[in-house]
């Protein structure tokens, strides 16, 4: 069974400086993990965005973020881009996010267990053309929201207040969203 998460957007960040660019803006260590949960914070350490980063290579990353934040997030990245050799593209018309409790048996771009809690399922990025096949197989069910509530998982956009909430007060450390050894990032102090 699968849950097609239509409330998620897929943003690509690629280019020669992509890894350092994202590493300096996020709360987690994207150099260490192929897939991780992250926050982008204001200068005062307040919540701005939460998202997952999937490292395809050292120069190519896919970001899974709430669709209502996608435009604002790409604008946020553009502010910090400066002279970095980075390209930011919204690929939501090409890719779709699917949640499942077991490792998917269909073709995926990337599939990883949700890093926020060991009992959560798999988040998989697929080509949108495959969504029709999932719907035809009658394998689509609502899975993510029951798991989110059963395991008391915080979703930033749904549960935190933009530019007001302080993520560590809402369990960011327990959700594996913060690395204390990666080095500096905006809002760290």
Helical segments of the chain, H only = 18-25, 70-81, 131-136, 144-150, 156-159
Q: Are 154 and 2 in contact (CB under 8 A)?
A: no
The pLDDT averaged over each successive group of 10 residues in the chain (189 residues) is 91 96 93 94 91 96 97 94 93 94 88 95 93 70 91 91 90 86 71
Global pTM value:
0.92
CA 21 to chain CA mean position, Å: 16
């Amino acid at each position: 069974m699968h849950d097609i998460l239509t409330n998620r957007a897929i943003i690509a960040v690629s280019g020669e400086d992509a890894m350092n660019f994202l590493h300096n803006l996020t709360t987690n260590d994207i150099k260490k993990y192929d897939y991780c949960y992250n926050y982008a914070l204001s200068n005062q350490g307040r919540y701005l965005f939460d998202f997952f980063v999937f490292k395809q290579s050292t120069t190519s990353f896919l970001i899974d973020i709430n669709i209502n934040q996608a435009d604002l997030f790409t604008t946020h990245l553009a502010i910090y881009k400066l002279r970095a050799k980075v390209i930011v593209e919204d690929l939501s018309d090409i890719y779709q996010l699917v949640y499942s409790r077991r490792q998917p048996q269909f073709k995926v771009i990337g599939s990883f267990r949700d890093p926020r809690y060991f009992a959560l399922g798999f988040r998989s990025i697929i080509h949108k053309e495959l969504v029709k096949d999932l719907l035809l197989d009658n394998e689509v069910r609502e899975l993510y929201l029951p798991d989110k509530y059963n395991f008391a998982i915080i979703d930033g956009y749904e549960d935190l207040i933009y530019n007001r909430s302080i993520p560590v007060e809402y369990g960011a450390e327990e959700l594996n969203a913060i690395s204390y050894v990666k080095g500096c990032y905006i809002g760290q102090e």
